Chains A and B, each alone.
Chain A
């Protein structure tokens, strides 16, 4: 890659930052060049972000309809999945799945809830309910 080919695509996924890329100058010497983005990278990062957003929206609907507990939504909102949540809390996956059931979630001990709060970075008050958000 030579310096003149280093993409400067102003990727939105770079959040106005720049990355350092190794590229070759005219005399063949390699050095770091700042890049504002590459559309290829932006595309795949956006793909991942969109996928996360889809999961959050889906989860929101399932909680709203009463099929899942607020925990299910808050997990996806924190960009986690069952595996990551299990690893972050140290809880077994099957016990977390139980907590996805609205009636069982309502009965969880505060101690267990606080573990979820810690893992998800959310307050007790937040985690117990679905936020008033419109996912249009």
Chain B
């Protein structure tokens, strides 16, 4: 075999990349992968529906972690999609025979090892395939504690499902991985870029502007049917906590990245402080989620104003973190 070691991560795409690069001798933690690929974000996109509810995203677009790591770390990563299921199946087997471990995008619903409680139609899940035994594929799914197996038919169905964020059988694997990288310049650049992105005011649906947009939408729920309003609110929390974000819509994970970065920069005070602030913002996101859960459970009228206000406060506090990050001066 290829003595691959499964690891339990908080998120799928960043987890796959971390496991994959570690296997190739480059040990980069999941938070570092997440931070270096500028994956932290926010978007409220009402015209894209996921499970009948408007899309609320706490990270950048699917596959952007793979692509940004490829670019920023100069990893020669091959990405392949397929027009036919058969070609996609054959290619996977071919790569595995070569002893490679392969990242794949898939639907969550059709994977045979997913428990019923987690079985939803979401097509941008990521997993790592590291072997095959008879008709079963050996899979390292980062959000599971142990490695799992999936039969060929289910895996193919999951890889080739159609719809929003359709995987098209996406496979990805590195051809060459640098053994040593100076992360510091990449970190400095990423931090600056992310802060600017989140603070940008032009596009109403993304970044902190997007948070404000969602806050307004919550106020409008008052005029909607209660059942829908509760599902809408529940959906926000599900996107924030359920789909594998490491907690608080990735804010805890990003705080971890900032802390690790601070250490690399000789315990830089600004990054250390920013990490602490981001952790607190993460706690506020969790409070927001708790507020919504209580509203859903209660028989009383929902205080949409209070929920909306909480979101606005979070937005203001998160802005302070990005402004802090912008004061970071990299010393080499």
B30, B52, B144, B230: residue with the most chain A Cβ atoms closer than 10 Å: B52
**Any chain B CB within 8 A of the CB of A30?**
yes
Q: Which residues of chain A from 18 to 39 have a CB within 8 Å of any chain B CB?
A: 18-24, 28-32, 34, 38-39
Contact B49 A83 (CB under 8 A): yes
Which of B8, B237, B255 contacts A20 (CB under 8 A)?
B8
**Any chain B CB within 8 A of the CB of A88?**
yes
Minimum CB distance partner of B143 in chain A: A19
Contact A41 B241 (CB under 8 A): yes
Q: Given that A22-B31, A48-B234, A121-B157 are known contacts, is A84 also in contact with B255, CB under 8 Å in the complex?
A: no
**Any chain A CB within 8 A of the CB of B215?**
no
**Any chain B CB within 8 A of the CB of A49?**
yes
Contact B117 A44 (CB under 8 A): no
**Any chain A CB within 8 A of the CB of B119?**
yes
What is the bound-complex CA distance between A53 and B44, given in angstroms? 27
What is the bound-complex CA distance between A109 and B196, given in angstroms? 55
Q: Given that A15-B117, A15-B118, A47-B296 are known contacts, is A87 also in contact with B31, CB under 8 Å in the complex?
A: no
Minimum CB distance partner of A23 in chain B: B252
Contact B246 A48 (CB under 8 A): no
Minimum CB distance partner of B282 in chain A: A1
A12, A16, A30, A45: residue with the most chain B Cβ atoms closer than 10 Å: A30
**Any chain B CB within 8 A of the CB of A93?**
no
Q: What residues on A are CB-neighbors of B230 within 8 Å?
A: 47
Contact A13 B241 (CB under 8 A): no
Q: What residues on A are CB-neighbors of B145 within 8 Å?
A: 17-18, 34
Contact B242 A17 (CB under 8 A): no
- Nearest CB on A from B183, distance (A): 17
Q: Which residues of chain B from 210 to 263 have a CB within 8 Å of any chain A CB?
A: 230-231, 234-235, 237-238, 241-242, 244, 246-248, 252-253, 255-256, 259-260
Contact A15 B115 (CB under 8 A): yes
Contact A13 B279 (CB under 8 A): no
Which of B157, B237, B259 contacts A29 (CB under 8 A)?
B259
Q: Which residues of chain B from 108 to 145 have a CB within 8 Å of any chain A CB?
A: 109-110, 115-121, 143-145
Contact A45 B282 (CB under 8 A): no
What is the bound-complex CA distance between A84 and B241, given in angstroms? 23
- Nearest CB on A from B54, distance (A): 13
Q: What residues on B are CB-neighbors of A38 within 8 Å?
A: 241
Q: Given that A1-B283, A21-B247, A88-B162 are known contacts, is A40 also in contact with B231, CB under 8 Å in the complex?
A: no
Contact B115 A44 (CB under 8 A): no
B8, B115, B242: residue with the most chain A Cβ atoms closer than 10 Å: B242
Q: A78-122, CB under 8 A of B: which get 1 and which 0?
A: 011101100111100000000000000000000000000001010
Which of A12, A13, A22 contacts B255 (CB under 8 A)?
A22
- Nearest CB on B from A33, distance (A): 9
Q: What residues on B are CB-neighbors of A24 within 8 Å?
A: 279
Contact A13 B247 (CB under 8 A): no
Contact A44 B242 (CB under 8 A): yes
Q: What residues on A are CB-neighbors of B8 within 8 Å?
A: 20, 32, 34
Q: What residues on B are CB-neighbors of A45 within 8 Å?
A: 117, 238, 242
- Nearest CB on A from B152, distance (A): 14
Q: What residues on B are CB-neighbors of A32 within 8 Å?
A: 8-10, 30, 246
What is the bound-complex CA distance between A122 and B282, given in angstroms? 42
Q: Tell me the B residues contacting A by CB distance below 8 Å.
A: 8-10, 30-31, 49, 51-52, 109-110, 115-121, 143-145, 157, 161-164, 166, 230-231, 234-235, 237-238, 241-242, 244, 246-248, 252-253, 255-256, 259-260, 275-276, 279, 282-283, 286, 289-290, 292-293, 296-297
User: A15-B118, A17-B145 provided; 6 other pairs, C-beta below 8 A?
Assistant: A1-B248, A12-B117, A44-B241, A45-B238, A84-B163, A90-B162
Query: Could you jot down 19 A-B contacts, CB within 8 Å?
Result: A15-B115, A17-B144, A18-B145, A20-B10, A21-B10, A22-B253, A28-B276, A29-B259, A30-B255, A30-B279, A32-B10, A32-B30, A40-B241, A40-B289, A44-B234, A44-B238, A45-B117, A87-B164, A119-B162
